[in-house]
Structure 1
Amino acid sequence: MEQKNPRPNTYIGLINRFWRLDEIYQFSPAETRVFFYLLKIANVLAWPSAFPHADKRAAANCGISLAAFKAARNTLSEAGVISYTPGGAGHAKKTMYRICKCNEYQESEQAPRRMPSKPAPATKSTPATPTKAAPVSVQPQAYPEEPRLNAKSTANKAAHEAQTLQANSNPTRNTEGLLRNLRSLQASQEDIDKLLILSNHGEIGHPIWQLIYEAKNSNGAIKQPVRFIFSRLLPNANAVTN
């Protein structure tokens, strides 16, 4: 019964994750439309792990051509927002779609519901043996150390994952998004070629993404954004911010 009712935190968490990724990928209107359409379908179907859907129907409902739909779908897949398995020939073979990170949000929301059910049987057994009060007094002493260990292990795990992502060049690049951003800043082709090399062809996590974000959101304070980016990436260059 629980799986038939969509959890609001799941929906909101996935939407917030999409907009955080949008700061890096700068999703186009078509890509945004396709994501929210597939998210709506997953919501209507009560958040299955995967669901079939016809590409032509999805493109028509999004108001774009089939080619534009497939291009938007590929970009969303590269960004880690969705994943899909193309269907075969014929009307019966539909593409299988998955909303990435959906299961993680669901599990995090189920955890608080399961926790209250575990202490219940423990309270029934404690009155029978008074000696069990001793472990209860010892237990609080261990609690201050556990979060610290978890925090350290989490930080180490995050650092390790960041290193492995950087080592794998193919999934961590967004060359097309970088070109789109640099052209919107009116960068010359010569500057674009240089910045492609400096950023390892749009590697995700490279400082150039933060610099592009600062230049676009400076409200005109940075009048020469391309030179501003060069001045931050190359320490020997003269900084030009106005």
Structure 2
Amino acid sequence: MGRGPSIEGRKNATDAVKAKKFTKFIREITIAARAGGGDPNANPRLRLAIDKALTANMTKDTIERALKRGTGEGATEQVVEIRYEGYGPSGVAVMVDCMTDNPTRTVADVRAAFSRNGGNLGTSGSVAFQFTKTGEIIFDIRDDAALEEKILEIALENGADDVQSDDGFVDVLTTPEAYLAVKGALEKAGLTPIDSDVLMRPATRAALDGEAAAQLTKLIDRLEELDDVQDVHHNADLPT
């Protein structure tokens, strides 16, 4: 009978995932501070990046070092932001946000991921028009349907654009600027989301199943494995 991964092996794998996630947070904090200054109260993008890092249990010292790099007080690196757009299996729209110190390497890696997984890289603007930057705060109310009214009231009172419910879940939608205020008000009221983020939300979704869904999942996984990739957005409705 074969043995599974050792405890040490599983821990090392978990640590590697955590380290990669932290690297992405550090890059985002550094870029946000460089673009809009090091004061989170005056820089919504930086405030959001720090909120994500703290939620993931990144230490304040690590956040501070990233801030200093962004404002020029620490070691600097020539990292730039690039967005790649393309099509996955069945024509699914895919956007890939990257931060890199070597765009030539990054575009080659992204193009290879698309071509090897049933997709192709498109031109700038080819799919971006299908997405809107939106704050999403999702709640599971399957065990307490009465929470829907409370979530609706608090969210709308604090600047949410819309509140949608479907099959035991409530999705609060905000502008990127209002996201942290709405999320904070909901959490202050004792309402804990199962997921929340500011992301590129598609106007419509294309349902995929079977081989096409499996192939798109492989493409997304491969893109997310790339060191220079920060986020991957798509408009597919994948089976759960």
Shorter-chain TM-score: which interval?
under 0.3
TM-score, with length taken from structure 2: 0.21
Q: Report which of the two structures shows the higher radius of gyration computed on alpha carbons.
A: 1
Q: Which has the higher contact order (CA 8 A, sep 6+)?
A: 2
Higher strand share: 2
The TM-score, its normalising length taken from structure 1, stands at 0.21
